[in-house]
A and B are shown apart, each in its own frame.
Chain A
């Protein structure tokens, strides 16, 4: 079965650079979530989109922005990168149909800021 696809798998950037992370949800899924997981930390919710509109927002820095496109894939744009942005970034998708749907997570993008 198709899973959530994230790219790239690894990304190395320098301070003050920009980065773009991509997420391709499971086919037919209309909701995408982004999470950040720092070293030794639990995943923290950043932002979510439903039907291409932002549906919820967590602890996402102003330097970050995200969007969901017409094909439901999503991109997380990160500018003015800081050392503290080094983390594992997960995308998850779900189908907002009926109640208590499951979230399916991708394998993540490991971002290293040098």
Chain B
């Protein structure tokens, strides 16, 4: 069963903020929200992750709702190079052990010139 639901595709004008939503209504207390992206035929690239607080790094911001049932990835100033498939993933956080990532369908983001 899919743990996350994302729009199939989205468009965003270059230079604008791209806001990608994700629903994860069945998320457990020990699951993090991760975002990866895959630019055509390249290896998936880590963007950001968070548990319950909003997070920001050099690539993006992650806003998680208070009930943790949904989140939004924000690319503040989208460029043509941000055109990619964006995957929202929930993943259990273990201590001293790692776990695989399961990719769902993702959102195909088109940045328009």
- A interface residues with partner B (beta carbon < 8 Å): 4, 31, 33, 35, 42-45, 48, 50, 55-56, 58, 88, 90, 92, 94-108, 110
- Which of B91, B95, B99, B104 has the most CB atoms of chain A within a 10 A radius of its CB? B99
A101 — which chain B residues lie within 8 A by C-beta? 98
The answer to whether A50 touches B44, judged by C-beta atoms less than 8 angstroms apart, is no
The answer to whether B32 touches A100, judged by C-beta atoms less than 8 angstroms apart, is yes
Binding site secondary structure of chain B: loop
A43 — which chain B residues lie within 8 A by C-beta? 38, 44, 103
The answer to whether B95 touches A98, judged by C-beta atoms less than 8 angstroms apart, is yes
The answer to whether B93 touches A50, judged by C-beta atoms less than 8 angstroms apart, is no
Interface residues of B in 28-80 (CB under 8 A from A): 32, 38, 41-46, 49, 51
The answer to whether B95 touches A105, judged by C-beta atoms less than 8 angstroms apart, is no
- Which of A56, A92, A95, A100 has the most CB atoms of chain B within a 10 A radius of its CB? A100
- B interface residues with partner A (beta carbon < 8 Å): 32, 38, 41-46, 49, 51, 85, 87, 91, 93-106
The answer to whether A97 touches B96, judged by C-beta atoms less than 8 angstroms apart, is yes
Q: How far is the CA of A83 from the CA of B91 in the complex (A)?
A: 33
The answer to whether A103 touches B101, judged by C-beta atoms less than 8 angstroms apart, is yes
Closest to A95 in B: B98
A102 — which chain B residues lie within 8 A by C-beta? 46, 49
The answer to whether B41 touches A45, judged by C-beta atoms less than 8 angstroms apart, is no
The answer to whether A107 touches B43, judged by C-beta atoms less than 8 angstroms apart, is yes
Closest to A48 in B: B100
B96 — which chain A residues lie within 8 A by C-beta? 96-98
The answer to whether A108 touches B43, judged by C-beta atoms less than 8 angstroms apart, is yes
Q: How far is the CA of A31 from the CA of B38 in the complex (A)?
A: 21
Closest to A100 in B: B93
The answer to whether A58 touches B44, judged by C-beta atoms less than 8 angstroms apart, is no
Contact of A90 among B44, B49, B87, B97 (CB under 8 A): B44
